[in-house]
Amino acid sequence: MKYNYSPFYSLVKANCKLVLIAFFFLFINSIKTANAQGIWTPLANLAPDSCGGVMILLSDGSVIAKGYTGGNDSIGAIWSKLTPDIHGSYVNGTWSSIAPMHDTRLYFSSQVLKDGRVYVAGGEYGTGGSKAEVYNPLTDVWTMAPNQGVGYSDANSEILPDGRVLQAIVGAGSHTTTIYNPVTNSWMPSPTALGSHNESAWVTLADQSILFVNVGSTNSERYIPSLNQWIVDAQVPVNLYDPFGSECGAGLLLPDGRAFFLGGTNQTAYYTPSGTTAMGTWTAGPNIPNNRGVPDAAAAMMVNGKILCAVSHAPYSSSHIFDPPTWYYEFDYLTNSFNPVLAPNGSDTTSLPCYYSNMLQLPDGNILYADQEARQYYVYTPAGNSLAAGKPSIDSVWTDVNCNYTITGINFNGISAGASYGDDWQMSTNYPLVRLTNGTNVYYARTFNWNRTDVQTGTLPDTAQFTLPAGLPFATYSLQVVVNGIASDPMSFIPCLDLGVHNTINTNSTIVGVYPNPASSELTVSISLESKADINIQIQDVLGQVLKNENLGSISTVTSKVIDITNLPKGIYFVKTSIDNKVIINKFIKD
């Protein structure tokens, strides 16, 4: 017997189809979300000089890019400078040039110092192979370091916790290192590495130690800054160096605290640190797809935690080490997978070997990219959100009577060093920048004297100083600290005025409190001090005019002052509290 269930059956069948279709689209969307690609955008203006390699982020938000002009050997001593436009766009930014180096260099050590100056040393090609110099952005002057008579060539370098530079020396087995002191412009000896550091990628770990794999081997070691000593670490389970040119790719610190190394072979490796002088643990990572490798190439830790990397054919003979083309991938350590992305030109590849690639993490969260010998630069905008773990946090900002600002908070050095290349140059960005926004206008202050050079410092207190850009219009700004392209929550900020009023903000602080806010007739200013100080309180309007002035004299503990504001018109006002040589500004509203 057959039963006629057609009305009910049709309804169930239709609903099942809808459910299946919905699940299908959810599944497809989840795949697209997991493998979502970023977007390449060419810069609107060509650089004045072809890219000669490394790009460095200055602490005022501008970028300097090594070029090929200057000197007599076609290696180059000139740097092009990229300044973002008034809206903070690097795509629409403008190019200029800075003063040339004393020497020409190609493939060399490079670091941004704690005071905002730039250090370079060596050069595999050019006249600077055994010399180092330091650039001061404030004076546009390069200053030579003392000549040690040793060869740096294309050696690696890292910033130490105290701001000095650990510099590798290439030659005679390439075990030797030295330390540069930027404060005294002098060198000091440092311990000899246990194995050869030539061609190696160095990674600074969260415990401040510096990790690398000895060239042509699976041995690893670490430099311990507190001990000024190199120590043996664990064996790598795979060969990262190719057997023909002993080349290797970048090394990067992952958000979870491990280090990830890309091999000149098609192999990769993870390193899990012990956090002490005990050996860490190495494990094999995924192979780079289709027998591709990284015989010198750029890679960058993006704000979403994935790594953008350039790869070529893995070397397979002594005459096929640096073969084109270059492919591009996003590596996701959470899924342990390489996902292909388009090349900057919109095709699958660029017709160059991967060692031509250069990357830099920008403050806006994008990656700046350029191929050597090209004037066209690009930015890569990653998909997805910034990692919350990489977000800095501001505690306070204050200024002295000379309008020099100090900012405090946590996570000012981020959770990675940004981009990496390997031994040929360094372009770390794990230092704080200060961004000011008013409407659609964006400005960067110049930061300097940050107290840490580490990564993944957790809740340890951070400080940095900054000065405002010349000609900054007087207005109320949103102030953010940015590190590795990840910004803090914004804070309201009033800049120094030409009238001599030195304003600042102070948040999460018990030093000065203003209440009620809004206020109508009386305003109470509460002050808590750690030590005795002279106190003066002023109420100013938005133009900096002093409307009320109260000199409290010398105060040693806690006090409060009630100020009559009955006659003030409705609007926004500022309480300027001078505490000896510090000034705290609180905003209040008169209703």
Q: Are residues 486 and 397 in the same domain?
A: yes
Q: Tell whether 402 is covered by a domain.
A: yes
The burial class, CB within 10 Å (0-12 / 13-18 / 19+), for 227 is exposed
Identity of residue 414: G
Q: Tell whether 373 is covered by a domain.
A: no
Q: Tell whether 484 is covered by a domain.
A: yes
| CA-angle at 364, arms to 363 and 368, nearest 5° | 80
Non-local CB neighbours of 176 within 8 Å, separated by 6+ positions: 150, 168, 169, 192, 193
Q: Tell whether 257 is covered by a domain.
A: no
**How many distinct structural domains can be found in the chain?**
2
Identity of residue 400: D
Q: For residue 439, give Cα distances in angstroms to 60, 83, 288, 477.
A: 20, 19, 44, 8
The helix (H) or strand (E) run that includes residue 8 is helix 6-34
Structure tokens at 74: 């076609």
Closest C-alpha among 427, 436, 428, 420 to residue 487 = 436
Q: Are residues 581 and 541 in the same domain?
A: yes
- The gap from C-alpha 149 to its chain's centroid, in whole angstroms, comes to 32
Q: Are residues 523 and 458 in the same domain?
A: no
Predicted pLDDT at 322: 97
Q: Could you tell me where the beta strands, DSSP code E, fall in 413-460?
A: 419-420, 433-438, 441-444, 446-448
Q: Are residues 519 and 558 in the same domain?
A: yes
Structure tokens at 388: 């919350």
Q: Tell whether 214 is covered by a domain.
A: no
Predicted pLDDT at 35: 59
Residue 506 DSSP class: B
116, pLDDT greater than 50: yes
Instruction: Tell me the pLDDT band of 255, cut-offs 50, 70 and 90.
Output: very high
How many CB atoms within 10 Å of residue 20?
10
The helix (H) or strand (E) run that includes residue 220 is strand 220-224
Q: Are residues 514 and 468 in the same domain?
A: no
9, pLDDT greater than 60: no
Q: Are residues 472 and 517 in the same domain?
A: no
| CA-angle at 378, arms to 372 and 381, nearest 5° | 135
Q: Tell whether 572 is covered by a domain.
A: yes
Comparison of pLDDT for 492 and 255, the residue scoring more: 255
Predicted pLDDT at 582: 78
Contact assessment for residue 470 and residue 563, using Cβ atoms and an 8 Å cutoff: no
How are beta strands 433-438 and 441-444 bridged, if at all? antiparallel
Predicted pLDDT at 531: 78
29, pLDDT greater than 70: no
Strand order in the sheet with 63-67: 51-57, 63-67, 79-83, 94-97
Q: What is the pLDDT of residues 223-241, one digit of tens each?
A: 999 999 999 999 999 999 9
Q: Are residues 491 and 516 in the same domain?
A: no
Asked which of 466, 496, 526 is the last residue of a domain, the reply is 496
Q: Are residues 452 and 402 in the same domain?
A: yes
Average pLDDT over the chain reads 90
Q: Are residues 404 and 491 in the same domain?
A: yes
Closest C-alpha among 571, 363, 400 to residue 486 = 363
- The gap from C-alpha 244 to its chain's centroid, in whole angstroms, comes to 34
Q: Tell whether 309 is covered by a domain.
A: no
44, pLDDT greater than 80: yes
Cis peptide before 325 (omega within 30 of 0): yes
Asked which of 470, 496, 522 is the last residue of a domain, the reply is 496
Asked which of 448, 463, 496 is the last residue of a domain, the reply is 496
Predicted pLDDT at 511: 64
CATH code at position 464: 2.60.40
CATH code at position 522: 2.60.40.1930
Rg of the chain, C-alpha, whole Å: 27
SS3 23: helix
Predicted pLDDT at 2: 30
Q: What is the pLDDT of residues 179-189, one digit of tens each?
A: 999 999 999 99
Q: Tell whether 526 is covered by a domain.
A: yes
Residue 467 belongs to domain spanning: 393-413+423-496
Q: Are residues 491 and 514 in the same domain?
A: no
